[in-house]
Amino acid sequence: MSTQEIYNAILAFDEVSVKAKVRAELGAGTDIQTILDDGLVRAMDIVGERFSAGDLFIPEMLKSAQVMKAGLELIKPLLTTDQSRSKGTVVIGTVKGDQHDIGKNLVAMMLEGAGFKIVDLGVDVESEVFVKTAAEQKADVIALSSLLTTTMPAMEQTIRITKAANLAVKTIVGGAPVSQAFAHQIEADGYSADAPGTVKLVKELVG
């Protein structure tokens, strides 16, 4: 049994097997981050590469996402802690025009596990909705996810109108095509390449 088997099961689009293998790894005491990095997330990277190369297509990409999500669901309870003493509120969502939510969900789960209150707006979220919700919830952080180069401008727009609204809220950005340089360019308060890094970042920004 190894995380390689989780990876293989995702690439075989075998949900039953992914669940069984994630459970087995958890039972064997394998570190959650190892299960994510070496099994679940690594498989999605290769799916993307195969899609780019024309070796697999949208239905397979969708199926792999469903299978990945089934694996993530098993990990979620282990990441979630007591919410009675919230460390702060994070409004999170995938920006307008973008349907990708696996990375966003993973970030939300880890932040929740670290003690933050999460208001998850889902996918394809209008800029104004982020700002309105942040004001209503007195949020500390707005976290924007984008997986498409074509939806990155929606991050810039959201940050622009957030700043214009003069709220005491920080903005952070992430997603596969996003970089530190882009975050700097659009004047986001922070960027992270992955979920554990986002927890560290939000703690720094809120603390």
Q: Which region, judged by CB under 6 A, interacts with ligand B12, from 4-12, 81-89, 138-146, 161-169? A: 138-146
Which of 38, 101 has the CB closer to ligand B12? 101
For helices 15-27 and 3-11, the axis angle rounded to 10 degrees is: 170
Cα separation values, 160 from 112, 153, 171, 177, Å = 27, 11, 10, 20
> Considering the rule CB under 6 A, would residue 122 count as an interface residue with ligand B12?
no
Rounded to a whole number of angstroms, the minimum distance from the CB of residue 197 to ligand B12 is 7
> Considering the rule CB under 6 A, would residue 101 count as an interface residue with ligand B12?
yes
**What are the beta bridge partners of residue 92?**
120, 143
Rounded to a whole number of angstroms, the minimum distance from the CB of residue 44 to ligand B12 is 4
H helices present in the chain, as ranges: 3-11, 15-27, 32-34, 42-52, 58-79, 102-113, 127-137, 152-164, 180-185, 195-206
> Considering the rule CB under 6 A, would residue 103 count as an interface residue with ligand B12?
yes
Residues numbered 33 to 52 that lie near ligand B12 (CB under 6 A) are: 41, 44-45, 47-48, 51-52
**CA 171, 154, 126, 63 torsion: positive or negative?**
negative
> Considering the rule CB under 6 A, would residue 98 count as an interface residue with ligand B12?
yes
Number of residues binding to ligand B12, judged by CB under 6 A? 37
> Considering the rule CB under 6 A, would residue 156 count as an interface residue with ligand B12?
no
> Considering the rule CB under 6 A, would residue 56 count as an interface residue with ligand B12?
no
H helices present in 28-147, as ranges: 32-34, 42-52, 58-79, 102-113, 127-137
Q: How far apart are CA 14 and CA 8, in angstroms?
A: 9
Is 90 within 8 Å of 141 (Cβ atoms)? yes
Query: At 89, which amino acid appears?
Result: T
Q: Which region, judged by CB under 6 A, interacts with ligand B12, from 8-16, 114-122, 146-154, 155-163? A: 146-154
Q: Which residue is listed with tokens 């659009």?
A: 186
Q: Which region, judged by CB under 6 A, interacts with ligand B12, from 3-11, 26-34, 75-83, 144-152? A: 144-152
Rounded to a whole number of angstroms, the minimum distance from the CB of residue 23 to ligand B12 is 20
Interaction site with ligand B12 (CB under 6 A) = 41, 44-45, 47-48, 51-52, 58, 61-62, 65, 97-104, 106-107, 143-145, 147-149, 172-177, 192, 194-195, 198
